[in-house]
Amino acid sequence: MFSPSFDAICEFIVNSQHNSQINSQLAQALYIMDNTEIKKELAKRGFDYSMLATALQKSPSLVSKVAARKARSQVVAQAIAKALGKSIEDVFPDVDAYHLPALNAELKEQKQAELNALLNSLDT
């Protein structure tokens, strides 16, 4: 059975002569920036992972891992997107968790208390 690669599918969509506007939109929707592309785009703007990490008071390793999709942090992902002048959905379309609103501190504390109560009830 023939199974074309992701790149081959994207190339076909972009090069197709039919419905060029739709094909362009599809190609953009399928495009996912990888760690290397994020790093290059940041460098074009004069930024790097260490600078982002310092601004966020996070480790450069975490910033790199978020860009590579090896760790999750909405705060870091949002900072990467802002530094690139893009939306978080454009930079990380493949990470559904980033497309939801972040919990504020009060709601997070409330949800933590709810979870603690639920888990503590398992002990009895």
Identify the pLDDT of residue 31.
72
How confident is the model over 15-40, as a mean pLDDT?
A: 70
Whole-structure pTM value: 0.65
d(CA 94, CA 107): 26
Number of continuous H segments (helices) and E segments (strands) in the chain: 8, 0
Q: Is 21 in the same domain as 67?
A: no
CATH of residue 90's domain is 1.10.260
pLDDT tens, position by position, 29-61 = 567 899 999 999 999 999 999 999 999 999 999
Q: Domain residues for 13? A: 1-31
Structure tokens at 65: 């891992």
Q: Is 39 in the same domain as 63?
A: yes
